[in-house]
Amino acid sequence: MDSFIDPARVQALTARERKRFAAARPRSAELAARGAEHLLFGVPLHWMNDWGTPFALHVAEAQGARLTDADGHQLVDFCLGDTGAMFGHSPAPVVAALQAQAARGMTAMLASGDAAVVAQTLAQRFGLPRWQFAMTASDANRFLLRWLRAATGRPVLLVFNGCYHGTVDDVFVDLEDGRPVQRASLLGQVHELTRTTRVVEFNDLSALEAALAPGDVACVLAEPVMTNIGMVLPDPGFWEAATALIRRHGSLLVMDETHTLSSGPGGYARLHGLQPDALVLGKPLGGGMPCAAYGFSAELAARCEAAKRSAPPGHSGIGTTLTANLLAMAAMRATLTTLMTDAVYAPMIQRAGQLAEGLRAAIARHGLPWCVTQVGARAEFQFCARPPRNGTEAAAAMDDALEHLVHLALLNRGVLITPFHNMMLVCPDTTGADVARLLAAFDEVLHDLVAPDGPA
C-alpha cells in the first residue's frame, strides 16, 4: 500500500516515541515484568500486547471518557475498550444497578424480573420480537449460527471478505486472488472451513447472487457497515438489493450490530430501514459488563423453536452456564433504559461529527490522501484517498508500521485510540475539549510525518 509517508521517517519516529513511552511509565514496566512471571505472554489476554507499546500499558482506573494509567497519566479514551465502554467507563446507572443486584444474587441459572423488561425493550428498539442472550458477541454469533443451520437444514454460511465477528471459527475464510482460503493466523483449527463457509466481496451483488444460487446457504452474516478492516460503507441501495436476493434464494440475513450500535439506540438497521431476519448485539449492551443478545423475526423464531422441539433431548450446543445471569440482566436493563436513548446518543453523534470534520481538516492541511468515515458515534481514518468499497480495498489501505506509530504518538500525547485499525469512539462524557486534544495531537503527529524540514 502507499500511504504517501516515508517508511524511514516512520521508523525513526517510532523509535523516538517508544523511548518516550518507556521513560514516562516505570510502573507499567514493573507490572508488565511481574505479569511475565506467570501469565502467558505476560498479559491476561495475549491481544493486550498488540497495542504497539514497548510493554503492556497497565490501567489504574477508568471513569467516563478518561483512563488513568498505572503511572498516573490521564488519557482521554477514544478506544473505550473497543466499544465495550461506548457509554463511558463505569456509567452511574449501571454501577447502581450492579451494586443493587450484586448483593441480591449474581447467578442462579434462573430468570429474574429483568428478563421480560430487557426483551420487551430490545423488541421495541430493534423491531425483532424474540430474543436470547449470550456473554459475548462471539458467543451470540456462534449460537445464532447453530440456530439458523438447525432451522433451515442448510450447512453453508456466507460472509463478506475481510469480516470479523469475534472468535467464531466459521467466519475466518478470506478471498485471496478471488479464491476462498482459511485465515492462516487461526490457531489450532483442524476443520476445513471453506467446505461450509462461502465468501464474497462487500458491495458485490452479482457475486452474492452467484454464492446464494446453489440454495444451500443458511444465512448471510454481516455487519451493516464493515468496521473491522477499517470502515467500508454499503453502496446506496446495496442492502435493499442484497436482502431481496437473500430472500429469493431462501436464505436468512443476520446483521451483527456489535459495532454499528454506534448509529443510534436501534442500531444501523433500524435507522436505515433494513430488514434483517436476526440481529446480534454485543459489547456495550451491558454498559461494560460482559453480555450480548440476539434477536429473531417471528417467523424465524417459530422455525428455531420447531427445530429444538423436533431434536432429541440433550445438549443443544447453544448456551453457557453463566449466560443471562442475574447481574448481566440487571446491567442490560440499566443500559437499555437509561443510556441507549436518543437523548444520550444525540450529543455523542454530534461530537463524533466534530471529530470527523477536524480529522479531515488536519489531513487536508498536511496534504495527505487519506479519508475519514463516520458511523454515528464512531469515526475512522484510513490511509487511502477514497473510502474503500470492499475488504480487499480496505486491506490494501492498511499500513501496520504507520498505524503503530500514529497510535503510540497519540498515546504519548494523552489520547488513546483503538489498536488494530484507526477507530475512535465518542462516549456521553467526551467533551469538546477532549476532541480538541485529540485533534491537536493528531495534527502534531501528521506534522512530524510530512514536514519537509523533518520532525519538530
Would you tell me which residues interact with ligand PMP (CB under 6 A)? 82, 136-138, 164-166, 223, 228, 256, 258-259, 282-283
Spatial distance between the Cα atoms of 429 and 95, rounded to a whole number of angstroms: 15
What is the β-pairing status of strands 423-425 and 217-222?
Answer: unpaired
Shortest gap between Cβ of 74 and ligand PMP (angstroms)?
A: 26
Shortest gap between Cβ of 420 and ligand PMP (angstroms)?
A: 9
Closest CB to ligand PMP among residues 267, 358: 267
Closest CB to ligand PMP among residues 283, 333: 283
Shortest gap between Cβ of 41 and ligand PMP (angstroms)?
A: 18
Shortest gap between Cβ of 28 and ligand PMP (angstroms)?
A: 24
Shortest gap between Cβ of 273 and ligand PMP (angstroms)?
A: 21
Closest CB to ligand PMP among residues 203, 228: 228
Place of cell 465518542: 426
Cβ–Cβ < 8 Å for 156, 250: no
Cβ–Cβ < 8 Å for 1, 32: no
Shortest gap between Cβ of 222 and ligand PMP (angstroms)?
A: 9
Closest CB to ligand PMP among residues 35, 224: 224
Shortest gap between Cβ of 307 and ligand PMP (angstroms)?
A: 24
Which residues fall within 8 angstroms of residue 212, CB to CB, at 6 or more apart? Answer: 158, 220, 245, 246, 248, 249, 251
Spatial distance between the Cα atoms of 24 and 73, rounded to a whole number of angstroms: 9
For residue 366, give the amino acid letter: H
Shortest gap between Cβ of 93 and ligand PMP (angstroms)?
A: 21
Closest CB to ligand PMP among residues 161, 412: 161
Q: Contacts from 10-19 at CB under 8 Å and sequence distance 24+?
A: 10/401, 10/402, 10/405, 10/449, 11/401, 12/455, 13/405, 13/409, 13/448, 13/449, 13/455, 14/401, 14/404, 14/405, 14/408, 16/455, 17/405, 17/408, 17/409, 17/412, 18/53, 18/54, 18/408
Shortest gap between Cβ of 425 and ligand PMP (angstroms)?
A: 12
Coil vs helix vs strand at 197: strand
Closest CB to ligand PMP among residues 175, 221: 221
Closest CB to ligand PMP among residues 41, 47: 47
Closest CB to ligand PMP among residues 291, 352: 291
Shortest gap between Cβ of 83 and ligand PMP (angstroms)?
A: 7
Spatial distance between the Cα atoms of 369 and 382, rounded to a whole number of angstroms: 9
Cβ–Cβ < 8 Å for 268, 231: no
Closest CB to ligand PMP among residues 254, 334: 254
Backbone angles phi, psi at 156, to 5 degrees: -90, 140
Spatial distance between the Cα atoms of 79 and 427, rounded to a whole number of angstroms: 10
DSSP string, 232-273: BPPPTTHHHHHHHHHHHTT-EEEEE-TTGGGG-TTHHHHHTT
* CA 237 distance to own-chain centroid: 24
C-alpha cell at 145: 449460527
Closest CB to ligand PMP among residues 14, 418: 418
Closest CB to ligand PMP among residues 265, 290: 290
Cβ–Cβ < 8 Å for 165, 197: no
Where are the strands (E) in 135-287, listed by range?
Answer: 156-160, 173-176, 179-182, 197-200, 217-222, 252-256, 278-281
Closest CB to ligand PMP among residues 318, 441: 318
Coil vs helix vs strand at 316: coil
Local structure of residue 230 (DSSP, 8 states)? S
State which residue has the least CB distance to ligand PMP: 166
For residue 81, give the amino acid letter: G
Shortest gap between Cβ of 163 and ligand PMP (angstroms)?
A: 8
Shortest gap between Cβ of 227 and ligand PMP (angstroms)?
A: 6
